Structure 1
Amino acid sequence: MLWFAALTDYKVVRKLGEKMIETVFRSEDLPAGERFDAWRAMAHWATAPLEFRSDHEEDFPATLRLLELGAVDMFTASFPSLQILRTPKLIKQSDAEQYKMGFLLRGNARLSQMGRDVTVATRELVLYSTWRPFDIWIDSGRHDMATTVAIRVPRALLPLPSAATDQLIARRISGRTGIGALLVGLVTNMIANTSPYQPSDAPRLGTVLLDLLTALLAHEVDADRFLPSDTRQRTLALRIRSFIQQRLGEAQLTPSSIAAAHHISTSQLHRIFQQQDLTVSAWIRSERLERCRHDLTDPALHATPIHVIAARWGFSYPADFSRAFRAAYGISPRDYRHTALHNTIDETHR
């Protein structure tokens, strides 16, 4: 924690209360002339010793958030255009041998490592390592600030041979389809809102991220045989849940169709959900009800009939929907909508 001790003068906020452990840095809390040095110190502590260069060093607007998830860390940062260097000298100073998988929410980037150069746009994943020199140039493009997200994983935790993983260093990996999309989606949702999570959730979330990252890399180099069985099962469960959530409005969404889409038997599908003390049908129904509940609170949908909202999320019969909604929330859909929209109007006029 030496870096954190050195950062106390830079008004770093470390949230250790009831919610997830989260470290937050905002350069706007500091005088303009101190911002770049504070950013450099914070980034060193949160990631690894690095060298930074920027045309905005005299006044460097930046934010950084670090989430500690057991053995895995995740951080997101926003800043103007910036060059980031990891030199042989810095590696000698400190190297915990970590992989980083990063992507951009705004801007574009170029990464050089192991004699390779790759450019990435938003939601394109790229892997790099801390025990080799690298050069990253991040450009905010048409935005005032670029926004990056990265997962940091100790090298020893990845169960893949180094020769296989090295094939993916400084290679573009899609974050829009397949497992890559699952990983980007999960990370994006987590950084958007950490309030639902408790500190006790952190190791579990770290395991989920590690599973997805490992499965993604194994898939990219056709090395699935190296995946531990637990990782395979957890990743399959995540893929199935994502598949279901994308198709909640389809009437033909059934256990048999879900199992067929994932090349497993319906009995295997049921076993996966039994581990969570749920049936497949019960989980689908709860997800559909939650989508309906959300839409009923949306002022933009106040004129949409309740039965239309229900049908949109897979409830073909209004009476069945009303019974299921009342059983889940203790109130009729009509009364729930009236109360929610009335409260929204009251808050707007306060």
Structure 2
Amino acid sequence: MAVLLDTEDVPSGDRPDAFRDAMLAASGSTHVDLETGPSGVSARLDLWEFGSARVFTARSTGVTLVRDARAARGASYEAVAVAVHGLGSGRHESSSGQRIVRSGELMMVDITRPFDFSWSGIGSSTSLQVPISDLGLPLRVVQRAAGRLRSSPLYRIVSRHVVDLTADADTLSASPLAADLGESSTHLVRALLADAADPGDTRTRDVFEETLLSQVHAYVRQHLRDPMLAPDSVAAALAVSRRQLFRVCRRAGLSLEQYIIGKRLEGARTELAARSARPRPIASVAYGWGFKDPSHFSRRFRAAYGLLPSEWRRLATEGSP
């Protein structure tokens, strides 16, 4: 995590300028007005990296962000940001009209058009930023989708994903899976924009299914050691029905149950082959990789690799697996 700004670390007299400069750099706005309360100005801005995708959060006293027409005309998309509003409510005004953005609602920041966004009192927002080059969508599709996000059935899924990603961002961004999570997040944003721009387009289904499969792979890898990992828990975590999950997996030629077992067996086999002064008991290895029954683990291991776990460990540690 990178803390871009915490006004608690800034002398009180310098806080307005520090906050204004940080928001100008992070938000794409050309002008920032600050609301000064009884205790002055306060703000906390954080940034996490997930491969080429980034999560940016802002929590502060009242602020108004403005992007003028001149800057918008000269703008070129480098990244797309979808933002979920947090505390309080915000006001967003653009060429398409004015709207109140309430807690939990999703919006897209379109820097190629003038905008005015603000909140009063303590407010917060979290945005998922993905490079436009990673989306693989024409600019016109991205622009057309900006005002139509709520029309897509993926709206709720993306909103929840951004919130969940942020809730454990410190741990997830530091894990080996960070780049995978960023890639699946990018696919999810792409599916949302494609569907919002062209509802009913058959190509949108392909994008959605590709996105969902990417999320399935990432979620399974992240939770392999959880003994409760199963199709029902995967469907619930990804906000899709069990039927929809199985349909997409079937079209991709993927048996989700067998995929989970196969990945668990791979992890256990690697651990059993590792040299250690105090190797864990085989039953402990089985439990550690999500198997509820060591006997079941041994049967599945032998069916997959032709050896019992104990035989594999002995041969591996002798150097001749």
TM range (shorter): 0.5 to 0.7
Distance 1:281 1:98 in 2: 34
Matched residue, 1:150 = 127
Distance 1:172 1:74 in 2: 19
Distance 1:329 1:162, change over 3 A: closer
Aligned 8 A contact 1:102 1:149 in 2: yes
Letter in 2 for 1:279: Q
Matched residue, 1:5 = none
Matched residue, 2:57 = 76
Distance 1:190 1:168 in 2: 23
Distance 1:263 1:114, change over 3 A: farther
Q: CA RMSD in A?
A: 4.0
The one of 142, 146, 156 aligned to 1:181: 156
The CA deviation string for residues 301-326 of structure 1, in whole angstroms up to 9 with x for no partner, is: xxxxxxxxxxxxxxxxxxxxxxx999
Aligned 8 A contact 1:270 1:279 in 2: no
Distance 1:265 1:120 in 2: 33
Letter in 2 for 1:264: R
Distance 1:44 1:182 in 2: 29
Distance 2:178 2:158 in 1: 16
Shift of 1:215: 1.0
Distance 1:50 1:236 in 2: 39
Shift of 1:98: 3.5
Matched residue, 1:271 = 254
Q: TM-score by structure 1 length?
A: 0.59
Q: What is the SS of the residue equivalent to 1:59?
A: coil
Aligned 8 A contact 1:49 1:94 in 2: no
Letter in 1 for 2:40: D
Task: Give the % identical residues.
Answer: 20
Distance 1:325 1:216, change over 3 A: farther
Q: What is the SS of the residue equivalent to 2:91?
A: strand
Aligned 8 A contact 2:75 2:111 in 1: no
The CA deviation string for residues 194-232 of structure 1, in whole angstroms up to 9 with x for no partner, is: 224437544322211111111112223316544595763
How many correspondences in the alignment?
A: 256
Consecutive unaligned residues of structure 2, counting only runs of 5 or more, are: 221-230, 265-282, 293-321
Q: Is 1:245 matched with 2:228?
A: no
Consecutive unaligned residues of structure 1, counting only runs of 5 or more, are: 1-14, 16-21, 249-256, 286-323, 334-350
Q: Is 1:29 matched with 2:9?
A: yes
Distance 1:37 1:263 in 2: 53
Aligned 8 A contact 1:91 1:130 in 2: yes
Distance 1:235 1:117 in 2: 33
Q: Is 1:195 matched with 2:171?
A: yes
Distance 1:164 1:121 in 2: 25
Q: What is the SS of the residue equivalent to 1:111?
A: strand
Q: TM-score by structure 2 length?
A: 0.64
Aligned 8 A contact 2:172 2:178 in 1: no
Distance 1:110 1:200 in 2: 38
Q: Is 1:48 matched with 2:28?
A: yes
Letter in 1 for 2:13: G
Q: Is 1:208 matched with 2:184?
A: yes
